[in-house]
Amino acid sequence: MKSNAVLKGVERAPHRALFKAMGYTDEELSRPLIAIVNAANEIIPGHIHLDKIVEAVKAGVRMAGGTPIEFGAIGICDGIAMGHIGMRYSLASRELIADSAESMLLGHAFDGAVFIPNCDKIVPGMLMAAGRVNIPSIFVSGGPMMAGNFRGNRADLNSVFEGVGAVAAGKMSEADLAELEDTACPGCGSCSGMFTANTMNCMTEVLGMGLPGNGTIPAVDARRIRLAKKAGMQIMELVAKDLRPRDIMIEEAFANAFTVDMAIGGSTNTVLHLPAIAHEVGIRIDLNWINEIGAKTPHLAYLRPGGIHHIQDLDEAGGISAVLAVLHQQGLIHGGTLTVTGKTLAENIKGAKVLRDDVIRSVDNAYHAEGGLAILWGNLAPDGCVVKQSAVAPEMMQHEGPARVFDSEAEAITAILGGKIVAGDVVVIRYEGPKGGPGMPEMLSPTSAIAGMGLDKDVALITDGRFSGASRGASIGHISPEAMEGGPIALVQEGDRIKIDIPGRRIDVLVSEEELARRKASWKAPEPKIKQGYLNRYSRLVTSANTGAVLK
């Protein structure tokens, strides 16, 4: 056992004395030491209840003969961080989570780990740590929030963001918005659509790092507690077999993840997080590969923000296991990949069935023939960019319009809410990438304002930043190279014509190469927005969005 390094032998008597100072017994110290990486806090709805999940996990570990030892992990609520400096810390916190978990796990010679995340950056940060440290590990999330109810209709966090735009457009009163605010998020859990948190929890299940049900069992369901106990028990089997993350997260597992991502119309942020996780286990993911997977994967589930269903519906329909079963029948899934059950993915989904075909459609009745995400290329994005095409209105799949250029998200929001953006415009928000932001902030406020004002079928938004998993419409993010690195998006001028062709996988500014070269010759990078502290260090170390925004 790895913990022998701190527990065995005469020379480790001082170490054991420190354990005994905390009340550990010789019997507990004779068992495998299992880290419980707990992201509970009182600032994220998806994490407010994680202490209950932790207690269930600890019970499982003890039942199976291990000694659970808990330590904490930070977490930022993307919704609360949205629209101010806090959002610049969100993506950057992913690296802090990975680094701190690595430090704790290796600093104390744990034999195994149970990771307990739930929301946006916490899930990938912990997966990165698991791949990097490579000790037996299992994940159990806190589960999704139930949808809210607003005057007989379902609602969620995105409904409230869009309500802000509706009030600005005179389509909703402030009193109505206040009522919506009180009902949209009814309790604990990760926000109820196929936004980033739930997408990543589903990806954890597909990668093989979480038990079946990890992605969809609601936070308030007793099955979630039972799942946590099973995860606590299962880590002991993983330790006994020495089955590690790098045995599980192989290239075929990432292919499976992107395939399911395409089938369920997941968040564009997976194009940041899955490559970053793969990087930690020595796998390089090329953006062209993502398009190749999307081209052959049907879009089977249409959840919020593009569709009408929520995660609870996907769970009722059979969950991720049912989606995997449909895709496996079509030969689109690598069934032989290992999982934390100790079995293969194909063995895990044996017998899984679709229980609601209105939620998980058959391949013959797919919402779209291609997957939910698309990578675009062109003279505006030589290194690529991403769009959630499943959330784009048909009339916006091809669009050409004048650039409305803003050097920050705040400037763009002011213009949108001020009625200065009109049908046909292409809103360009730049200097918000990994370096320029810094931290590549999400842009849910502008996309929601556009949708709430009824312009989502008429206006495109493009950025070197990123969009929330809750964004819908022609929202194209991750434009690489970013403006801060002198990418072409930095050279766009007010009124330039921009042509978007999502089916053709193209995005171009209709300006000659000679003119772009002339503009580039006179371009100078602006001063960094943050000149001290963590974000300043982050901006100097972070790489482009097309690499997953990993640190050098």
Which pLDDT belongs to residue 531? 93
| pLDDT tens readout for residues 253-287 | 999 999 999 999 999 999 999 999 999 999 999 99
Catalytic residue among 468, 471, 480, 544: 468
| Catalytic residue status for 468 | yes
Exposure string of 27-44, with b = 16+ CB inside 10 Å and e = fewer, is: ebbebbbbbbbbbbbeeb
Q: What is the mean pLDDT of residues 438-447?
A: 91
More confident residue, 470 or 535: 535
pLDDT over 70 for what percent of the chain? 100
Structure tokens given for 458: 């008429």
Cβ atoms 507, 386 nearer than 8 A = no
Which pLDDT belongs to residue 70? 98
- Assign 90 to helix, strand or coil: helix
- Assign 239 to helix, strand or coil: helix
| pLDDT tens readout for residues 387-435 | 999 989 999 999 999 999 999 999 999 999 999 999 999 999 999 999 9
**H helix intervals, 265-352:** 270-280, 287-296, 311-316, 319-329, 345-348
From residue 339, give the alpha-carbon distance in Å to each of 335, 379, 441, 475.
10, 41, 33, 34
Which pLDDT belongs to residue 472? 84
| pLDDT tens readout for residues 121-149 | 999 999 999 999 999 999 999 999 999 99
